[in-house]
Amino acid sequence: MKDLHELKLIRELTHFRDDLIQCHELDRVYVEGNSYPIIAFSIGNQSDSVPTLGLFGGVHGLERVGSHVVITYLTSLFKQLSWDQELRETFKHCKIVSIPLINPGGMSLHKRSNPNGVDLMRNAPTESNSENPTFLVSGHRLSARLPWYRGEEGRPMEIESQALVNFCKDQFFNSPATITMDFHSGFGMKDRLWFPYARTSAPFPNIKQVQNLVDILDETIPHHIYQIEPQFDSYTISGDLWDYIYDLHREENKENNSILIPWTLEMGSWIWVKKNPLQIFTAGGFFNPIKSHRYDRTMRRHMLLIDFLFRASRNYQSWK
């Protein structure tokens, strides 16, 4: 089987033997005679009703750096669990769940979409009510040959999308508080933290909790680099998976007090290209840092944010 560098790193993570770490193969994607697993991790208390942090990457096959940030964090965490008893104690009361590479087939083909040509982040059954959709970018059903294709009308979601939705339902739909972060790259000069909605500028029901979280982030990490905004500030889209998962979770939790805040980190790749224009001629050069010092800096800079979010998910009373 043709192997993928990122899957090799993820397989190495599955070899850690620790009773706090569970690995799951959620499904497999078949591409040109090869098959690639969608691998998930659940670390800590396995109940679906503990505070949870979710880390996701590789929805878009060209954006390898997102998977790398998640894999780097998990590798460090797994090593730390081998010696840090306080951390082990912490995980008795909470968990981190993760799918570091949601679209391995797309990544193997050097494509943004999955192998069927579907942009997974346009694939959910949610419709934008925007009066100003951006041509193609907002999602369309014209042709799988064009980028941002949503898939055929009325068809079930793609297996990668469905695997993500099912995993979220299994892992944290009864949690008192869950924060998820989905790592992407490509849009703009800055690193942006986006919160819902992507499909509409109508108020997001948990905007107050988002503001509380942003306040404690600003106070705790005053020199952070993130521009924080609702996703619709940049563009609106139909079929956003996190809009869909957020709405599903909200629908199922009308009666109780569970909360889910799904975030997207869009790493601004234009700055990498600006500083090293020739990289656009390399594979994935538009979406990933190529020079090693820039790659290292990218791996380092988001670790602090992930640690903050892990603490915030455990201490949800402070912002919920």
Residues near Zn ion (CB under 5 A) are 60, 63, 184
Which residues, in sequence order, are CB contacts of 265 under 8 Å at separation 6+?
A: 66, 181, 182, 183, 184, 191, 192, 193, 194, 226, 302, 305
For Zn ion, the closer CB: 187 or 250: 187
Closest separation in Å from C-beta 242 to Zn ion: 12
- The kind and range of the H/E element at 275 are helix 270-275
Closest separation in Å from C-beta 60 to Zn ion: 4
Residue 185: beta bridge partners?
267
Rounded Cα distance between 84 and 308, Å, is 18
Query: In 3D, which of 122, 191, 192 has the Cα closest to residue 151?
Result: 122
Which residues, in sequence order, are CB contacts of 49 under 8 Å at separation 6+?
A: 174, 175, 176
Judged by DSSP in three states, 122 sits in helix
Closest separation in Å from C-beta 121 to Zn ion: 6
For Zn ion, the closer CB: 184 or 249: 184
For Zn ion, the closer CB: 75 or 234: 234
For Zn ion, the closer CB: 60 or 249: 60
The answer to whether 126 touches 199, Cβ cutoff 8 Å, is yes
Query: In 3D, which of 179, 267, 185 has the Cα closest to residue 227?
Result: 267
Closest separation in Å from C-beta 185 to Zn ion: 7
Query: In 3D, which of 162, 139, 129, 155 has the Cα closest to residue 29?
Result: 162
Residue nearest to Zn ion (CB): 184
For Zn ion, the closer CB: 95 or 184: 184
Closest separation in Å from C-beta 308 to Zn ion: 22
For Zn ion, the closer CB: 184 or 314: 184
Closest separation in Å from C-beta 119 to Zn ion: 9
